Structure 1
Amino acid sequence: MAEPTDTDCKIDKYSSELGQKTFWDSTYKREIENFNINGYTDEIWFGKDSVKRMVDWICENITKLDSSIIDLGCGNGYTLLELRKKNFTNLHGVDYSQWAVDFAKKFAISNNFPDITYTVSDLTEKQADWEKFDIVLDKGTFDAISLCDENVQEKKLWYKNNVESMLKNDSLFIITSCNWTEEELVKFFGMSMYNQ
């Protein structure tokens, strides 16, 4: 892993419960319990408009419906579920919360899409070799990682290394952030960005 560089972003100096695994475990534990009682979910991280923009962009720009797509920090799997409803078939989600993954699987099955694959993995730690994907999605996960209260630079670098290991030469990395500017993301990830 590369040595930490000066990627000083205003949020690096602050921690939040959003950067803690215990927060996400309790959130998804509560959400799966509510789902078991009510049969629906209303927690959409960054909101449905953000998901719609991401899904619409993919639908307008990606014609190959079997493109391999992974959602990093997939949470309840809502983004992948929306892509599956648009007939994308090669969908994968990863989250470090077992509760999130359990809920995402249950949510997908309840919507008759048991073919979406979900895995528990902590993207802020060294991982074994990743499968390569055509599209890598991040909807606020890097933001949450940036709010960790300990080893934040190291966690961000492991996340970056894991993302890079998932990308092919012609892959797309689609990231939504409310805490980082486009310039900061370009500097940190070292990739050219297309801003819509």
Structure 2
Amino acid sequence: MFKKEDYTSQYGSKEFWNEIYTKELEIFTDSDVTPKKDGVQKYIINWLLHQYKNNRDIHIIDLGCGAGAFLFDLAINGFGTLIGIDYSRNAVALTNSVIQKKSYDMYCIELDLTNVMECKRLGIFDIVHDKGTFDDISQRTENTKEMQRMYLKTVRNLMSKESIFIITSFCWTEDELVQLLSKQFVKDCKIPITGKFSKDINKLVTILVFRVK
């Protein structure tokens, strides 16, 4: 459960993420090591591979893409039009450096996802993906509820009635997410976490799929 005192966390700070990705960019520049995917990511990729096994030529946007690991995994698995968004300039620089060196067919841009009008210009996507971004916005120290509202409005503007919104949270429970998103979205399903450590992971992570109401 997400506690109100956690709103002051450093994870809601752009400066924190810029510092993190400055270090990763230096590592990549020196060694050409592609950012690695995390353990949770594989469950989403496997679910997508099953759901879209007959058609991977779809438009996917990754909100808060960080170093681009999810996008790179999608590209390796044959998914189509891919776009990454992040408000950290250093994260975007890192992602675009990898894209250029690996010749991936995608791009990443710097944009604050609470800037509703700018984000609306991006268009409509088949899949909108969020891994921890709503969590980070929930931890901003000023106008938290308003930031959440603006972010969710951005998500809605990127979707059609046929689109899906995949959200991974490390802070909110399933019930809490359903309630927080209830004004504009309805839960479609929960992406299962299976395997050796699934019981422990399920206590820490929630992965849900939503559709527009």
Same fold (TM over 0.5): yes
Q: Is the 8 A contact 2:125 2:158 kept in 1?
A: yes
Say which SS state the counterpart of residue 186 (structure 2) adopts: coil
Per-residue deviation, 1:155: 0.8
Query: Which residue number corresponds to residue 195 of structure 1?
Result: 190
Deviation by residue 1:126-177 (Cα, 9 ceiling, x = unmatched)? 3332410000000111111111111111111110000010011010100111
Partners of 1:108 and 1:82 lie apart in 2 by 12
Query: Which residue number corresponds to residue 127 of structure 2?
Result: 135
Per-residue deviation, 1:112: 2.7
Identity across matched positions, percent: 35
The structure carrying a bigger strand percent of its residues is: 2
TM-score (norm 2): 0.81
Q: Is the 8 A contact 2:28 2:34 kept in 1?
A: yes
Query: Which residue number corresponds to residue 114 of structure 2?
Result: 124
Say which SS state the counterpart of residue 74 (structure 1) adopts: coil
Q: In structure 1, give the amino acid aligned to 2:55.
A: K
Q: Is the 8 A contact 2:18 2:91 kept in 1?
A: yes
Partners of 1:112 and 1:140 lie apart in 2 by 27
Deviation by residue 1:20-78 (Cα, 9 ceiling, x = unmatched)? 0000111111110111112215565xxx2211111111111023211100000000111
Say which SS state the counterpart of residue 192 (structure 1) adopts: strand
Query: Which residue number corresponds to residue 51 of structure 1?
Result: 41
Q: Is the 8 A contact 2:62 2:128 kept in 1?
A: yes
Q: Is the 8 A contact 2:87 2:113 kept in 1?
A: yes
Larger RCO (CA under 8 A, 6+ residues apart) = 1
Say which SS state the counterpart of residue 88 (structure 1) adopts: coil
Show structure 2 runs of 5+ residues with no match: 192-213
Q: 1:148 aligns with which of 123, 134, 140?
A: 140
| 1:72 is aligned to 2:63 | yes
Deviation by residue 1:68-122 (Cα, 9 ceiling, x = unmatched)? 0000000011101000001112101000011111110111222231x21211110
